[in-house]
Amino acid sequence: MNYDNIISEVNNGIATITINRPSKLNALNKATIQELHSAFKEADEDKGVKVIIVTGSGKKAFVAGADISEFADFSVAQGKELAAKGHELLFDFVANLSTPVIAAVNGFALGGGLELAMAAHFRIASNNAKMGLPEVSLGVIPGYGGTQRLPQLVGKGRAMEMIMTAGMIDAQTALSLGLVNHVTAQEELLDLAESIAAKIMKNSSVAISAAIAAVNANYEDGLNGFEQEIQKFGEAFGTEDFKEGTTAFLEKRKAEFPGK
């Protein structure tokens, strides 16, 4: 598909989705959120895609936040709808995608940008990255999952401080808090993402999808993560990937998984 605000490319089993609004520091407006939804959906449904990398264009920003001009005059009802629609189309959608999503944070990841990165299954960052949730400085709170995912990743106290101060942290601090998994030079960021993706791609896509669902279940109200793990573990025994993986192990050869 052709997009106005993003670039989506597939190479060697990796879909790279780049938010491409450099003049706006890649801020998320409604059109960009809709295009991201379409690109993630298309990549997830492509049997040839094993890993998705999401990043921002240019050297300054991953995503500098939401496009405030779009909602500055919204009513209470419109504000609730904005958050609900955002979760449906992008943030919850990405978090629950069956294909692994790596956020390659190159520069500023603020507000909705950090929330998008946190919706990914894990994050890596360039050494010039800055991350934060500045919403309370605008008289609002994070509305795209920030109040929920940040405490899960860094702990309640750290999350409360970041949200209440509206401050930014640098990449090394994010690494020490567990918000990102790796930090590297900006020019090496996508290479690192692709290197990690290559390791993921050696394994069973079917099993990885089940593992994502099981891990996520621990954070869903009304779901018992251990029960979900037992269910997904049992279901794995009925897959072609399980047959191939165990057979390859016993035959002392490299497994060739059928894929999605």
- CA distances 60 to 29, 50, 225, Å, are 18, 28, 38
N- to C-terminal Cα distance for the chain? 21
**If 0-12 CB within 10 Å is exposed, 13-18 middle and 19+ buried, where does residue 76 land?**
exposed
Question: How far is the C-alpha of 99 from the C-alpha of 207, rounded, in Å?
Answer: 11
Measuring CA to CA, which residue among 50, 45, 41, 9 is closest to residue 258?
50
Structure token digits, residue 192: 């690192």
- Residues with a catalytic annotation lie at 115, 135
> Could you tell me if 206 and 233 are in contact, meaning their C-beta atoms sit under 8 angstroms apart?
no
Measuring CA to CA, which residue among 3, 129, 140, 19 is closest to residue 68?
140
Structure token digits, residue 116: 């998008």
Structure token digits, residue 189: 């960021």
Q: How many CB atoms lie within 10 A of CB 138?
A: 13
List the Cα angle 116/213/79 in 5-degree steps. 35
User: Which single residue is written with the structure tokens 């057979």?
Assistant: 247
> Could you tell me if 109 and 174 are in contact, meaning their C-beta atoms sit under 8 angstroms apart?
no
3-state helix, strand, coil split of the chain in percent (to 5) is 50, 15, 30
